[in-house]
Structure 1
Amino acid sequence: MPVSSSPLAPAAAADVSRSPWRSLKYRSMRWWSVANFVSNAGTWMQLTVQNLLVLQITGSAAATGLSMSVQAAPALLMSLVGGAAVDRWPRKLTAAVSQALLGAVAFTTAVLVACGGLNLTVLMALAAVTGVIATVDGPACALLGNDLVPSEDVPSAIGVGSLVHSAGRLAGAALGGVTVAFLGTAAAYAANGMSFLFVAAVIPFLRPAYGALRQAAPARRGSGAGAAGRDAAADMTVRQGLIFFMRRPRLVALAGITGISAVFGRNYTLTLAVLVTGPLAGGAGSFGTVSTVLAVGGIVGAVLGARLRRPSVRLVGMLAAAGALLQVVAGFSPSFAVLLVLVLPMAVVESVSDTAGKTVLQTDPPAHLRGRVLGVWGSVSTGWGLAGPPALGLLMELAGARGALVVGGLIIAGSIGAGFLLRGRRDVTVPVLVREAGAGVLGTAA
């Protein structure tokens, strides 16, 4: 299976194409996209039946929610360690091993389901193991995909990845129902295990494109001489990644923009569901229509985001603020039809903003720190992911569905606007201080 990418000439690497599909001109990226589609379809096939399985075992909706929390919890606690592992170990090997381990967990679950040996305790343990492996697999696979294309084509790779994720989700949900109906629940887990093994089999054949930013070679223990060797080892620690993130203003600003947007603006499955079924007097079918429009907008936004070349944090902030203002207007929607008109651009703006933010996050740090930066991001994003729904639910209790959309949108737009103003004031103040200091030095010298 020849999957190597032929090096492109420097003239081709300097191509300024803005096609959203430009990353697919690299053969390895095409294979990686196929592998991701298969993996996503398998994962969503399993997720489609997993909640039903928990309900069958326990009969408790609370247990279903608990199983999801148990799987997510390791990301809050161990993402920093997982990111450090991605930086320290060869990326292709790390991704292949993590995919194989996830496949082993899926096959184990399939066997236990088929033999009737799966109980709640075992299911929770398997969910926790999956969450631990995912803290390594997530950043490894994300950065491996970026390694296959030149840096200017990373937005295209991320946008294509979003499209592949959406397509895999639709295919997996559909296949999950068919698989369970004809072959049973165990078959869905087994199929997901096969999808992980397929990805693991493809990875060894992937090759970086000309101009791709490859992973820096990790420092070997004992390599280097004296202080140089110790410095190289110290630079591979978890602490070093956290320090870099905290001292990088654009990454801190990106985290602030994304976090406040996630808490107050992107839980549309909650806010829009209550708005549609409450003040707008719609039903489950109406919310299904809204969900479809959100999905379509996400796909359109992923295509538009893939056209970006070098997005900035400022662009992410502007898009997030625009989405927040659209959310405010949506809160005043007098009818279901008006809401639908607003939902599409809301989803498009959110998707473009996500692609731009991921590009900044995955390309801004130096190559040897990217895994740990994604590890920091995994911890903080899990935190706001867990805190967001309860906070938004409380806001809806106090202000209603319309009020939550309006107040949440104003909080997002106001916070981002204040951040821009403070940044602009600092940019103006610093040059003035530098000029005054320079004038003082010259006066003293005279």
Structure 2
Amino acid sequence: MSLRFNPPPHWPPPPEGWRPDPGWRPDPSWGPAPQGWPFWVDDNGNPVPSDHPDDPSFIPPEPEADGSSPKDQGQSGFGDRTQGSQHPPEDQSSQEGSDRAQQPTAGASPHGTSGGWNGGWNGGQGGPGQGGSTQWSGYPGGQAPRKKNFFTTTAGILSIIGAILLVLIVALVLVLAGIIGKSGDPEESQTASSYATESSTASGSPQASGTGSAPSGSRPDQANIPGNDAEPVETLSGEGDQRVKTDKLKDGHVYYAEYWFEGESNFAIWGMDDKGEDSGLYANDIDTSAGSSWIDLDGLYGNPKGFHMDATEGSWEVKLYDKNAIQSEGDKPLESNGTVAYVYQGPKKDATFENLGHESFEIEAYDLKGNRTFHENVSEGQKKDVSFPDATKDDDNILVQVRTTHVEEKWKMSYR
């Protein structure tokens, strides 16, 4: 009665008549066999006892025809058996003796010489070390499958051609885009994209201005800030987000802006350098607002060549004045609201800024040379003490800037 290898149900089925080489181990990905699993059964499916039940490569002696085990097993333990040490009964065929001769030789590695831990069903009888070739289930002649090179197939060749054509098309598009982009006048293109179109004032002189209507409602009040009757150097107005240019601001002069925004978004005024890049923030308010701001208070950027009116929606108006147009408060106390630019003229004094609103505000001051006098943030309900230097001469004027985010935020400055 012959033996048949009996794999656990979660292992893949072996090829017909397959037997393991000495030391063969299953692929670890198959998982372990259940404890006590019989790896060998007879023709009737009955388990055949094994002296090494946990070793799937150990082939036990074949049972007698009547189901009894042979008397002379010739097994002295794994690793001590030599080829031919198992003697079959006299009525066993020479083939059965050959099967038993597949037991591992003395000192054989537990990983075997064929297939190893990752060999799957490869390396069965007739595999390496047994005078045969490695067995591959499901392939003719027991040969390993040959992988066809994808790039030699019709699909592979078409894929290569398609990739080359795609690269050529992309390159052609980039070249054409470069040619078209360079065909226009660069200066004209920059003017169109960076600045709004110039319009004319009533007197006919050119003036840079935005497009759209100026605010038409009532300008928000700022307490104790008198109206300015001076002629502005330039007036800019428009709607939404725009960039406008100006050539009215001379280098070496100090200017300030009075602005009015009517809308429900954030409104910021940025200065622009000669490349059209933002270079200095002069206002940053929320919702309808009004205020005044020194232009390039600290002298870091120089007078701008234009302005970026940054607003999602809403209309705005900005009037630019020479510093001499501002009405100085001298050394008098001042209580107001919103963003305010003013001049301090007087002797050296200590002062206190008090927050009367619900949001923090910023205060800073510079002399006419761009040197900072003080810079503070005043939180809700707090006070900040500052010191004014002597500014009794016109050349010693101190430019003071108070910045809030809402025009209704109140503050107070008093002297000690």
User: What is the TM-score of this pair, normalised by structure 2?
Assistant: 0.16
Query: Which has more radius of gyration?
Result: 2
Relative contact order: is structure 1 or structure 2 higher (C-alpha 8 Å, sep ≥ 6)?
1
Of Structure 1 and Structure 2, the greater strand share is in 2
Higher helix share: 1
